[in-house]
Amino acid sequence: MDNVTIGLALVAGILSFISPCVLPLVPAYIGYMGGRLTHNVSRQTASGTTASVSLALRLQMLLHGIAFVLGFTIVFVLIGLFTTALSSLAGQHVSAFTEILGRVGGVVIIFFGFQFMGVLPRFFSWLRKKGQAGILDNILFSIGFSVLASAMIYWSLLEQSAIALPLIAILLAALFFKGAFSEPAKFWHGALEGLESMLYSDTRADIGGGGRDGLIGSTFMGMVFSAGWTPCIGPLLGTILTVAAASGATSSDIVQGMLLLAAYSIGLGIPFVITALLMNSAQGLLRRLQRHMHKIELISGSLLIAIGVLVASGQLQSLSQTFSQGEFADFTFRVEECGVGFFDGELALSHVGACLSGSLVPVAINQSASGQFAPDMPELQYLFHGEAGRIIDIEVRSVNEAVPEFDMMLYGPADEELARASQADSLESDGRFYPLTGFELDGDGMYRLALRHSAAGESARFRVRARDAEPFEAASAVSPESEPEAPEVETAAADDAMTSLTDIADDLAPAIGLAEGNRAPAFTIETLADELVALSDLRDHVVLLNFWGTWCGPCRREMPEFQKAYEEWNEQGFEILAIAYNDTEAAMESFRDEFGLSFSLALDDSGEINDAYGIQTRPSSYLIDRDGVILARHFGIMTESQLSELLHEAFAQP
């Protein structure tokens, strides 16, 4: 998926609609659009214009659906841009921005809920009556409003005094000069009339089929809901974000990343627009139930208020994260991987079902994949694209246990059997089995590798890959000692010269930031081994800083690759620090033991390090050189070949 097109990004977005982490967004959307539909039908029925505006209302619902999609597209593209291409400027502030948008937007959603329930007109009428009894013309009402509004501003802006206090001062100054304290009755009656006029204009526009103000509201709702939603990171979305992250070179790359993110968002939005059209069919039902319309309004408005509370409190995002964990994450990954593979021509229709079930896994040559035989799944298949003349080996190795007994079959592009072998026939080196070595592919197309467990009914785990052929003597991990050693400089003068230049080098060091070429932001964290590690402690090492989670399906695929790279490169000065978030130490320890990880794992309880690095998706990785400078950033799964290429470049630097 290195060459992502606009069409593939669009397809990936459509497929993401059925991913579990989008589930919390769907009822929120239906709640908002259903509340708007109920509100409009009720107003139409009351005005007696039902027959003449039915078609206009259908168009209006379509436009509101498009506006909603436009809203979350804007935010998603901007977040993707800020956390990747422009991360050195604003990436670390994105989480604060989305939280502020969620809090402010949640309050607005609650307001919409009360409007759709029909509570606001009754409340305004009550205020007028009470105003005549001495409430609105009492300065205490203005003071109470000022205190409440100031508290809401302070809370909405994350208790950041530097931002909130100037806005509170502006609000109080406006109330003072507009007469809220000197002539409260005149001020509040005028304010109520203005607010009612705005709401009435919006309702009238909805009924008439116009409603520019209403469309702006729907766009804002889309922006708010996107702030309370964490997109699932799949293989193609990860590639898109990495394309945007590489934009330090030219502005055209930034534009390409934005276009791909926009295409992905539009693809995700298409099912939402279709849902808006389908909801129009409820018009007739609502009119037949017009005797119960007030109850329907109360229910739809209450649902919207509940959604507003979830958004404002951050619970909608927590639900989204919950649905992006464990088996949900694996399913999400497979949906995108299998769907995009089919539309890209890499997966036949007959393979889609097996791919979705997890019994067939699309991989690339040199990409290792995990597998687990089970009583209900004694055979697993792997699909990869090969070219005529390419020579490959098939490697099967253990995962913290003996390699299970297996039979292997390799099928060609025409689904013809090309080779067959068993574990007993395999060459072996360092616990790795090679049932096929030096095999030349005879055509371009998709090749299918099938592994069948010889001991049916038992569970067993393993790793498998089709790799470019190597001499069998080199089948085990390349020893760091095989690398040519750099000549040692033994003169004291050279050492003294290097020491004397330390201060000057520090002064000339790159600026701290998140772009490639910047110095990585400093931090200190405690690892699972109860060791306090600062990033500065890892100077003179090449460091892979990985942000992950035990609940992250794609993380489970790349972690074994990291362990293999760590074993191969550690003696040369390679370190891995994997930082989890929204996780538990117990789950991390279990994950570490399952995959036999020996590099450092740490838990970022507060999320401060994740925020400092602008992390919005997991897995995300930064490769940092021996001087603490960011060499590369990668979002989504990093394959063995990608990491190997980056490490060769890193250690080739003087």
- Residue ranges and CATH numbers for the domains of the chain are 6-124+212-322 (no CATH), 351-472 (2.60.120.380), 510-652 (3.40.30.10)
Residue keyed to tokens 């970022």: 604
DSSP class of residue 377 equals B
**Could you tell me the maximum CA-CA distance found in the chain, to the nearest angstrom?**
97
Reported confidence tier of residue 51, pLDDT bands at 50, 70, 90: very low
Say what the pLDDT of residue 501 is: 45
DSSP class of residue 617 equals S
Contact residues for 264 (Cβ-Cβ < 8 A; gap 6+): 9, 10, 12, 13, 16, 76, 236, 237, 240
**Euclidean distance between CA atoms 37 and 82, whole angstroms:** 35
The predicted model gives 159-178 an average pLDDT of 88
- Least Cα distance to 522 among 252, 150, 509 occurs for 509
Number of DSSP helices (H) and strands (E) in the chain, helices first: 23, 17
Residue 198: burial class (beta carbons within 10 Å; 0-12, 13-18, 19+): exposed
Alpha helices by DSSP H, listed for 246-360, are 251-279, 282-288, 293-313, 315-322, 326-343, 349-357
For 485-509, how does the pLDDT look when each residue is reduced to its tens digit (9 = 90+)?
A: 444 444 444 444 444 544 544 555 6
Evaluate whether 69 touches 191 at the Cβ level (below 8 Å): no
Say what the pLDDT of residue 546 is: 95
Q: For 52, phi and psi rounded to 5 degrees?
A: -80, -15
**Euclidean distance between CA atoms 588 and 580, whole angstroms:** 8
**Euclidean distance between CA atoms 52 and 75, whole angstroms:** 37
Say what the pLDDT of residue 31 is: 76
Say what the pLDDT of residue 363 is: 80
| Host H or E run for residue 466 | strand 460-468
Chain centroid to Cα 310, Å, comes to 19
- Least Cα distance to 287 among 17, 646, 40 occurs for 40
Rg of the chain, C-alpha, whole Å? 30
Lowest-pLDDT choice from 18-27, 367-376, 421-430, 445-454: 18-27
Helix/strand/coil for 534: strand
Chain centroid to Cα 102, Å, comes to 17
Contact residues for 642 (Cβ-Cβ < 8 A; gap 6+): 634
For 616-648, how does the pLDDT look when each residue is reduced to its tens digit (9 = 90+)?
A: 677 889 999 998 999 888 877 787 777 888 898
**Euclidean distance between CA atoms 405 and 422, whole angstroms:** 8
Amino acid at 118: G
Say what the pLDDT of residue 43 is: 62
